[in-house]
Amino acid sequence: MTPRTGAVDTAPTRAVSGEESNAALEAQARLRRSRRRRPELGRRLGLLRLRLDLGLSLLRGRHRGGAVAAAEPVVLADEESAHLRALVAPVTLAGLGAVAAATGSFTASAPSARALGATAMLLLIAIIADAFPVPLEIEGIRSSSVSLAAVFIVGMAVLYGWAPAVVIAFLTRAIVEVVQDRPTIRLVYNSSVYALGGLAAGAAASLGDRTTAVGSLLLQVLLAAAAFYVVNLLLIAAVLARSSGEPFIPLLRSSVAWTAVPFSIMASVSLMLAVLWQRSPLLSAALVGPLVAIALYQRSVHSALKAMRLALTDPLTGLGNHRHFHERLQRDLDRAQADGRPLTLCLVDIDDFKQVNDRHGHPVGDRVLAQVAGRLRQGGESFRLGGDEFAVLLPGRDDGEAIPVAEAVLQRIGSAEYEHRAPVSVSIGIATYPQHGVERSELVRVAERPRLPAGRRRAA
């Protein structure tokens, strides 16, 4: 493929000899063996799926899209594992310490038969709620769900104090993890996070005046629910940020944005539970209706958001598709025009990609596309337009700032190792609005015409 606008070229693809073909077959065999070992690594780490106790169950890959995950698995190095253990170890110790203290305090208080029965009942309900979470859509997180167990843990903290709340929270998650045969490290960490959330809820509830007054009860529930939510959100976002390498603040912000409404609904149900339980525990059965309504609402929202996301996502690479690109382009152009800031578009083509498909087959070509897509993500908002064509949007960056980004993309793609054991080169065209007299309607067309001096950048 000939270079295009602003095109920054890599070295041409060379022919593959018979010996190289044999080497490629051996590489494929090694790749298959390594993939069989990766699930075991995931089971040992036990942190690919972590549950936020008031509801968030977060399964985090580095990117959306199974093809990318298969082509570029995230394997933790020793230093990364140590970095993760630096968070997991103290959280686990603190959680287990809280459970020990809560068990001692609860036993020493000589609870009545009524209190023991209430604890057992709420524990059973919380386990059932936690075992069947409601799916939830969180941007950037492949799979997430909301568990209604928080309703009963917060309710226990308000009704009976911190000690039984910690015990219920810990046992709820621990029992579910054991029944589902989860790894030990995941069991102790997630259960400890639950326990610390229960401790925070109980401590916050104790700040209110324990009377039957409506205002006092409302304050207790709000404080307990907020404390429970904050502790768990912070701990789960922290461990996900460390395990995935994603920035903590954007991940936390995204989680808050998508969980604020479910959290508010569950806090209101916790208030209803406390009010009904004080009248008679049997009246709490009336919560079945609101809980089912919440579950149905969340499932309908999840289905709608999932359908919308699939309509805007390329299934092979997990990037935005052609439709998503044009929608995002128009939105960014509107913003650039309103704010007076530049918008740079980079169009990327894989050179001689047809030869990869012809020589090595379409499955290998698909994995090459997935690997290239993974490296484009690091440059900016990326899309697959079709075939071997991609686009990267760089809002707020002018031509001078976009060229180093394009060069970095070339470096990542050119230095990568591919399954077919041959180099991959790309051509990148660059156009910036409103520089160089580029109009909105001309941005894509200008990005397809050479503009940088020949030989400005060439990398193998």
**Phi and psi at residue 417, to the nearest 5°:** -100, 130
Residues of the chain with pLDDT under 70: 1-81, 135-145, 209-212, 298, 302, 305, 379, 436-437, 449-460
Sequence-distant (6+) residues with CB within 8 A of 68 are: 61, 62, 317, 318, 370, 371, 373, 374
Query: What's at 67, amino acid-wise?
Result: A
- Give the pLDDT confidence score for residue 212 in this predicted structure: 61
46-304 carries CATH number 3.10.20.30: no
Task: List, for residues 154-187, the tens digit of each pLDDT value.
Answer: 999 999 889 999 999 999 999 999 998 888 888 8
Q: Measured between alpha carbons, how far is 235 from 223 in angstroms, rounded to an integer? A: 18
Task: List, for residues 414-437, the tens digit of each pLDDT value.
Answer: 877 787 777 788 888 888 888 766
Sequence-distant (6+) residues with CB within 8 A of 256 are: 233
- Give the pLDDT confidence score for residue 191 in this predicted structure: 92
Domains of the chain by residue range: 9-40+315-459, 46-304
- Give the pLDDT confidence score for residue 413 in this predicted structure: 85
This prediction has a pTM of 0.57
- Give the pLDDT confidence score for residue 35 in this predicted structure: 44
CB-CB neighbours of 86 under 10 Å: 10
Task: List, for residues 347-378, the tens digit of each pLDDT value.
Answer: 888 888 888 887 888 888 888 888 888 888 77
| Domain boundaries 9-40+315-459, corresponding CATH code | 3.30.70.270
Beta bridge partners of 433: 343
- Give the pLDDT confidence score for residue 21 in this predicted structure: 42
- Give the pLDDT confidence score for residue 81 in this predicted structure: 67
